[in-house]
Structure 1
């Protein structure tokens, strides 16, 4: 039925790049799209299946999504069990090359819940992993479009320097936080790579958004952990219900430090329209929350 609906819809659609000879790249979500745009520059058109603010884990592709991707030359996806819907999506598209941008990353295992032992998929939040993403995007673009390989290589070098320029000062700021205060408490366990690279211990309400979220047992466990460790601040993600984290803050006397960004960029006029903004705003809020005196 999905293929029939796709075929019927395509008859009514004109490919977005009908008059554009550039490589067309489709990504599964906005973070990868922005990274790919920075590596591609003007040499390729890059679009995202999911829109700004979308929750990626349980996304359900629409016939319109399939139409938008039907004339792609390359599809980039995260892998590591992030896009649980992707295999069927790609199968419906047919024979379009796809690249997994997390290839080569040493994953951090999820430690509990239904996905215990599987890879934590949010590897783009780690500083070292981000560089691997950029290299994988560069290589995928170059394979699909060898005539512009030198452009992609040059852009990748410049982009990695910009990522480092955002993260290095924030890492230095967090290095000044006393070890007993270096806790990152969030709703989803989406910041394991960031916590590892920034020397933070991690506590979260639920391990991944595809699992049970915000249960009384999860909230009670984190309340106890915040009290036992005298943790001053808790956070949540921008794409989920923040009420459980706010409850933890109320019942422990910790501050609610604000929303962190991980799975999705914002609209252009929002707080994190780019991946660099996402890294900067998230890390700055963590650093501010841990270093605040009141």
Structure 2
């Protein structure tokens, strides 16, 4: 990949933070570990939950960003850097998701692993991001099984005395992920092939759509572009009409105003809110990754198959 497009994409991502760095930041003061367990630091909450499933009781897992944070334009705080310096391992998604991460890790001497390594990458095909990898690989339960394998390997290197437990935890978790995938694809089989389409605000569901046999359309490719252009909306309307799409969706971290214009211009209904970049707090609707992906799968199936 050429360097110039990467610089452009990085600038777009960093300029697009949908919330202030202060609102996304973790508190500067981090609690002491309090025990002898190695500390694993992840870049966002979804990875933290996946890592915790593998770690069990043997590792302490933390997230740099907090629940509800928009991760694309996140800016590390001094507290993040102090936390990273105390970590024994850092896990990141890769695929240009955490463009703040490269500069971040330059300040600390901590090993890290890229959990998306080995997946079949989908490139973004439109707008300023064309030709760059779609970073939202965790939105496919199939891909997350690869995340789990990479995490198991990284943890076995970090704490080899617990390697067997990490592998057992990983296999059990992968079975739950596969069940979500099987339920999703099975439920969508009742849809005519011409109507198997997923339309969202952000192009965050390319991997889920591919693995579930759905065509995909979206208003903008990345949440950096929350101000939809007339051309983007017109393109989405045309897709909905041409494919007789019964319902459309939007993500929890952005306004659904643009998608409501699509609803008003077509026969499609608004199918509901989907979660992507962040888990909720423990008392919220998606406190774990399995809750998130099950919520999204159930919401998509219910809206697309109702009265079909």
Fold-level similarity (TM above 0.5): yes
1:230 is the counterpart of 2:256: no
What's the Cα RMSD here?
1.6
TM (norm. structure 1) is 0.92
| Number of the residue aligned with 1:287 | 301
CA displacement at 1:292 relative to structure 2: 1.1
Q: Does 1:74 align with 2:95?
A: no
Kept in 1: contact 2:81–2:104 (CA 8 A): yes
Corresponding position: 1:60 with 2:44: no
Aligned to 2:100: 85
Q: Residue 194 of structure 1 aligns with which residue?
A: 208
What is the aligned residue count?
281
1:270 equivalent among 284, 296, 301: 284
In the alignment, does 2:156 pair up with 1:148? Answer: no
Instruction: Assess if the C-alpha contact under 8 Å between 2:55 and 2:155 holds in 1.
Output: yes
2:268 maps to which residue? 254
The residue that corresponds to 1:170 in the other structure is 184
- 1-structure distance, mates of 2:245, 2:176: 32
Residue in structure 2 matched with residue 9 of structure 1 by the alignment:
none
- Does the Cα contact within 8 Å between 1:205 and 1:222 map onto a contact in 2? yes
Deviations 1:149-201 (A, max 9, x none): 11111110111111112231222001221112111000111101100010000
Matching residue of 2:217: 203
Separation in structure 1 between the aligned mates of residue 136 and residue 156 of structure 2, nearest angstrom:
25
In the alignment, does 2:59 pair up with 1:44?
yes
For the residues of structure 1 that align with 2:292 and 2:178, how far apart are their CA atoms?
14
Instruction: Summarize deviations over 1:45-97 as a string: whole Å, max 9, x none.
Output: 001011111111111111222223220000000000011110111112x2100
How far did 1:215 drift? 1.9
Unaligned runs of 5+ in 1: 1-11
TM-fit CA distance, 1:15:
5.6
Q: Which residue of 2 aligns with 1:4?
A: none
Alpha-carbon distance in structure 1 between the residues aligned to 2:30 and 2:81: 13
String of CA shifts for 1:3-43, please: whole Å, max 9, x gaps: xxxxxxxxx967621x3110100000011000000000000
Runs of 4+ in structure 1 displaced over 6 angstroms?
Answer: none
* Paired residues of 2:85 and 2:109 also in contact (CA < 8 A): no
Which of 210, 220, 232 is equivalent to 1:218? 232
Whole-Å Cα distance in 2 between the matches of residues 73 and 117 of structure 1? 34
CA shift in 2, pair 1:129/1:243, >3 Å: same
Kept in 2: contact 1:167–1:279 (CA 8 A): no
- Residue 42 of structure 1 aligns to a residue in which SS? coil
Gaps of 5+ in 2: 1-27
Once the two structures are superposed, what CA deviation does each residue of 1:261-281 show, in whole Å capped at 9, x if it has no partner? 111111111111100011100
Asked if the contact 1:205–1:213 (Cα under 8 Å) also holds between the matched residues in 2, the reply is: no
| Conserved 8 A contact 1:26-1:69 | yes
Deviations 1:88-112 (A, max 9, x none): 11112x2100000001111011011
2:45–2:63 contact (8 Å) kept in structure 1: yes
In structure 1, distance between residues paired with 2:64 and 2:199: 30
1:16 to 28, 32, 53: 32
